[in-house]
Amino acid sequence: MTSNKKIIYVAHCVLNQNSVLNGWERAKGGFNKILKQILAEDIAIIQLPCPEFTYLGEDRQPMTKEEYDTTQYRQLCLELSRPIVTQMKIYQENGYELKGLVGIGDSPTCDTLGKKGIFMEELYALMSENSISLSWVDIPPDYVENETDFIISIL
Ligand code: SF4
């Protein structure tokens, strides 16, 4: 069997809701319905790291983008972005199709479309430096597993 050579990147908590703020979980484990849409198209999934968990741990308080926007946090987000972009380049150079990136709407770290999160800003800047462009989509802030529907538009 040969692979489809198609890849999508997803924010860490799409697969692991244990990484979100305590009490803010929107699925028991991961966003199964969204992941099934991706896997049904035979697209491989790469899980991005969770910068907030790495920075402040499991029991952190809600913070705004402005509160997260420090040199130290941006540096962390940049460092987390480096190996991802290195691998993106390798995949692209070897004929893989990078289908896009699924972020988290309204997140101070992982929003890709609205008020862009800090991790996504740093990742995007590094991707631009390396001439990598992707489609972006965000899980809406009101999405709750088994209560709301959301179709991933970039598959
Ligand atoms: S939105 Fe980003 S920072 Fe927030 S829990 Fe999900 S992966 Fe972590």
Q: What is the CATH number of the domain that holds 77?
A: 3.40.220
pLDDT at position 18: 98
In a domain, 110, yes or no: yes
pLDDT at position 139: 97
In a domain, 1, yes or no: no
pLDDT at position 148: 94
3-state percent breakdown (helix, strand, coil) of the chain, nearest 5: 40, 15, 45
pLDDT at position 124: 97
pLDDT at position 29: 98
Residue nearest atom 5 in ligand 1 by C-alpha distance: 20
In a domain, 60, yes or no: yes
Residue type at position 113: L
State which residues form the domain around 113.
6-139
Positions of the chain with pLDDT lower than 70, given as ranges? none
pLDDT at position 108: 98
CA distance 82 to 36: 28
Residue matched to tokens 């969770």: 50
CA of 50 to the centre of ligand 1 (A): 5
User: What's the domain count of the chain?
Assistant: 1
In a domain, 57, yes or no: yes
pLDDT at position 26: 98
Ligand 1 pocket mutation, candidates 14, 20, 68, 143, criterion most atoms within 8 A of CB: 20
